[in-house]
């Protein structure tokens, strides 16, 4: 079965990482959704990708961790996308976990760049355990030490290793960490049949990012990918 993750929700037809994006993804048939998490100034885990908010609202001059959660709620992150979404807010991770159907596979990406969010791993692990079905959660990050800290908080949480640049024996590397890794999430540009085969040797699923065309999806499935992250809602129900 091919697993297709709606990247940041239905980001092509709704403002990314908002409640509207996740709701729209489900309405369009997504069975798996990816979202990003950072901490606010008062250490509330919130769902947002960019470190600074100016792409979503030109009047928001600061970084996510320079606002309190209440201050973030005064920032409109929907109107930039379309007037239809005016008033959309950056949601808390807790709210999304409480509102999503528990049969949806959620990939929670811990954003620890360009600055690390101290303590975010414990908060993510605790919220996931309290408000969702852990069987349907994967926590991923480019910061592999963050994945180690997730494991230290809760070794039952499934982990996904994000990779942007080519690696020698990626599957072997992930396996040697000894963590509860279930998948590798490589940049689609570094994903070829050899990469996938090597990861499969260690029983790791391979979910490349971020697919934007049917042609890209077809290539990845043909060479053995187990699924992919996509910004294109028409690919959610691919078989």
Return the SS3 of 85: helix
Pull the structure tokens for residue 122: 């414990």
Is 144 among the residues known to form the active site? no
Of 49, 144, 164, 185, which one is the catalytic site residue? 49
d(CA 64, CA 174): 30
Give the DSSP H or E segment for 27.
Answer: helix 19-27
Residues 71, 63, 131, 107, Cα dihedral to 10°:
150
In this structure, what token pair is assigned to residue 87?
Answer: 């008033």
DSSP element (H, E) containing 123: helix 120-131
Q: What are phi and psi of 70, to 5 degrees?
A: -60, -40
* Sign, Cα dihedral of 179, 147, 4, 171: negative
Buried b (16+ CB within 10 A) or exposed e, 99-125: ebeeebbbbbbbbbeeeebeebbebbb
> Dihedral of CA 94/99/104/107: which sign?
negative
Q: Reply yes or no on whether 7 is catalytic.
A: yes
- Determine contact, residues 164/131, Cβ cutoff 8 Å: no
Instruction: Just list the catalytic residues.
Output: 7, 49
């Amino acid at each position: 079965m091919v697993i297709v993750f709606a990247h940041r929700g239905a980001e092509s037809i709704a403002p990314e990482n908002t409640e509207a994006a996740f709701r729209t993804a489900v309405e369009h048939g997504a069975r798996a959704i990816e979202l990003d998490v950072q901490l606010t100034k008062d250490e509330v885990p919130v769902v947002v990708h960019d470190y600074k908010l100016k792409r979503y609202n030109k009047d928001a001059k600061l970084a996510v961790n320079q606002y309190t959660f209440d201050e973030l709620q005064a920032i409109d992150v929907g109107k930039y996308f379309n007037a239809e979404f005016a008033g959309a807010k950056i949601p808390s991770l807790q709210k999304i976990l409480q509102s999503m159907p528990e049969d949806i596979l959620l990939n929670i990406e811990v954003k620890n760049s360009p600055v690390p969010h101290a303590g975010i791993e414990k908060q993510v692990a605790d919220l996931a355990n309290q408000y969702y079905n852990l069987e349907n959660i994967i926590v991923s990050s480019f910061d592999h030490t963050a994945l180690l800290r997730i494991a230290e908080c809760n070794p039952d949480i499934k982990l996904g290793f994000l990779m942007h640049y080519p690696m020698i024996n990626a599957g072997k590397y992930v396996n040697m960490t000894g963590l509860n890794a279930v998948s590798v999430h490589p940049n689609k540009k570094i994903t070829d049949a050899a990469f996938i085969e090597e990861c499969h040797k260690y029983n790791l699923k391979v979910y490349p990012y971020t697919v934007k065309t049917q042609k890209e999806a077809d290539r990845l499935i043909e060479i053995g990918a187990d699924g992919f992250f996509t910004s294109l809602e028409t690919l959610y129900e691919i078989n």
